[in-house]
């Protein structure tokens, strides 16, 4: 499975995305509690970005290169899972 370029692209993208999410979470833990209106606005922006992530991931997944297909499906997964949260 690790030798398959689709899976390699998928897992590499997941690892990179997880490190970004971890950095954001760390900043959130170390920062003071934000104003509710500001947080609401950020969450709306994030929901809109999730839709862009899904669209971009589908675009990558439609490409002919296997590595990009795997990365695309990873982006779709992260955008789709994060949206309802």
Torsion angle of alpha carbons 46, 47, 49, 53, nearest 10°?
120
Domain ranges of the chain: 5-82
Report yes or no on whether pTM surpasses 0.85: no
Give me the chain's average pLDDT, please: 90
C-alpha span between 44 and 41 (Å, rounded): 5
Element (H, E) at 43: helix 36-61
Q: What pLDDT, in 10s, does the model give residues 37-78?
A: 998 999 899 889 999 999 999 999 999 899 999 999 999 998
Q: Looking at residues 6-11, what average pLDDT do you find?
A: 94
């Amino acid at each position: 499975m690790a030798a398959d370029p689709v899976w390699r692209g998928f897992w590499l993208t997941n690892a990179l995305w997880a490190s970004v999410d971890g950095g954001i979470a760390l900043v959130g833990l170390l920062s003071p509690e934000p104003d509710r209106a500001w947080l609401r606005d950020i969450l709306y922006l994030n929901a809109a970005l999730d839709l862009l992530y899904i669209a971009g991931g589908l675009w990558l997944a439609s490409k002919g290169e296997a590595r990009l297909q795997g990365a695309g499906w990873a982006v779709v997964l992260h955008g789709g899972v994060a949206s309802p949260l």
